[in-house]
Amino acid sequence: MKLFSFWRSLATYRVRIALNLKDIVPDEVVDINLLKGQQREATFRAVNPMMAIPALVDGEGPALFESLAIIEYLDEIHPSPPLLPPDARGRARARGLAQIVACDSHPLLVPRVREYLEHELKLDEQTRMAWCRHWITEALAAIESHLKTEKETGRYCHGDAVTVADICLVSQAAGAKFFQVDVAPFPTVNRIVDACQAIDAFARAHPLKQPGAPATG
Amino acid sequence: MKLFSFWRSLATYRVRIALNLKDIVPDEVVDINLLKGQQREATFRAVNPMMAIPALVDGEGPALFESLAIIEYLDEIHPSPPLLPPDARGRARARGLAQIVACDSHPLLVPRVREYLEHELKLDEQTRMAWCRHWITEALAAIESHLKTEKETGRYCHGDAVTVADICLVSQAAGAKFFQVDVAPFPTVNRIVDACQAIDAFARAHPLKQPGAPATG
């Protein structure tokens, strides 16, 4: 397997956690420097036309793309440990929580959007930071509401086993830290993120532990 | 089943197509008028803390949420006809294409984002329209690149059977029409959208055929 990655990419962070949980070590990790715009270079555009990471090449055929699609693929080809609950309703809840992060929040903060805010809309840094914090906070509030009120919540987002919901929640928490969001109003989120971070597969995948990351957050 | 819906919601459109393909008729369809902000009222917030539609109540327990999670749930409890390819790599591709729509494009156009652009950032209508068109076009370009170059493309996005990728692509095409995007550069997308629109389950689900929709697009 070949993983296209960048230390700061929250979507790649999710895939790294899934790989670690399943004890899969990619043969190669290719750095795509988002801060230098390498995702828009022709060679990478041929790998992923959306010009985004992660992308994962597994054997023949075009690269897999989109973090949640890659995670479900990994879960199907390496079923142990499972990253989805055993029942359809549980899977819907875990996927739904994951998608609050991956559909409703993170897409508003990715480099191409932040660049549009800066270069097309000419917004100053304070306004751009307020934008990022707003969408991170909205999603955290919705997730906190689910987690604190629904009986399916356990040690982790869904029961006492890690699922794709936890993987996404941990990436959301890292985004909250990058953008200095106040997470005090979300105690259930914080409890579950702490429980996940205590797991080696999560801890090793952290953006700040990847090659190229700055020494401090 | 009880579906929380609004005629103009592109995410609910996706779920309606899936319901139609599987011949499932919800017992009740509850209108949540996004133009009047009903998604933010306390009664609906209790249904879906993210204050977004669709939401689907099936029997006991809290509502299901997020369109892709709901579609996978429907596919699991009513497996025929399947909405995902039979192989893991095919499923990853279909889900990836679906997520280009549902993660990379549509989240940038939803009412809460358009309202932020208008009321917080004070952008004029022309600038807001350019924003919407930009993100719709970026995703269509990426999808066209996949569809026109990859051998897995058939009558539909993935082979000759409809998948979740087609459901999302059709919703993207409807969004392109709402926001008057030029789709001429995307011939493969257009061919597949036309093939889908010829299927009754897709045609009946169209936003402009729902209660409350204006007489013309």
Crossing angle (nearest 10°) for helices A10-21 and A164-178: 140
| CB-CB under 8 Å, A64 with B92 | yes
CB count within 10 Å of CB A170 equals 29
pLDDT tens digits for range A20-31? 999 999 999 999
Q: Which residues of B touch A172 (CB under 8 A)?
A: none
**A23: burial class by Cβ within 10 Å (0-12, 13-18, 19+)?**
exposed
CB B200 within 8 A of CB B42: no
**CB neighbours of B3 closer than 8 A, spacing ≥ 6?**
B12, B15, B16, B19, B26, B28, B29, B30, B54, B55, B56
Size of interface A-B (CB pairs under 8 A): 136
| CB-CB under 8 Å, A69 with B99 | yes
| CB-CB under 8 Å, A112 with B107 | no
| CB-CB under 8 Å, B142 with A68 | no
Interface residue B62 vs chain A (CB under 8 A): yes
Q: Which residues pair with A159 in a beta bridge?
A: A153
Crossing angle (nearest 10°) for helices B187-197 and B125-149: 90
CATH of domain A2-80: 3.40.30.10
CATH of domain A88-204: 1.20.1050.10
pLDDT computed for residue B6 by the predictor: 95
Order of strands across the sheet with A64-65?
Answer: A28-31, A2-5, A55-57, A64-65
Q: Which residues of A touch B98 (CB under 8 A)?
A: 69
Confidence of residue B62 (pLDDT cuts 50, 70, 90): very high
Closest Cα in chain B, distance from residue A120 (Å): 9
Q: Which residues of A touch B49 (CB under 8 A)?
A: 141-143, 145-146
Q: Which of residues 129-158 of A touch B (CB under 8 A)?
A: 130-131, 134, 138-139, 141-143, 145-146, 150
| CB-CB under 8 Å, A112 with B108 | no
Answer whether residue A216 shows pLDDT above 80.
Answer: no
The average pLDDT across B11-30 equals: 97
pLDDT computed for residue A185 by the predictor: 98
The average pLDDT across A148-170 equals: 98
Please, what is the average pLDDT of chain B?
Answer: 96
Q: Which CATH architecture has domain B88-205?
A: Up-down Bundle (1.20)
pLDDT computed for residue B216 by the predictor: 64
CATH of domain B2-81: 3.40.30.10
Q: Which residues of B touch A72 (CB under 8 A)?
A: 91-92, 95
Give domain limits for chain B: 2-81, 88-205
Interface residue B168 vs chain A (CB under 8 A): no
pLDDT tens digits for range A71-99? 999 999 999 999 999 999 999 999 999 99
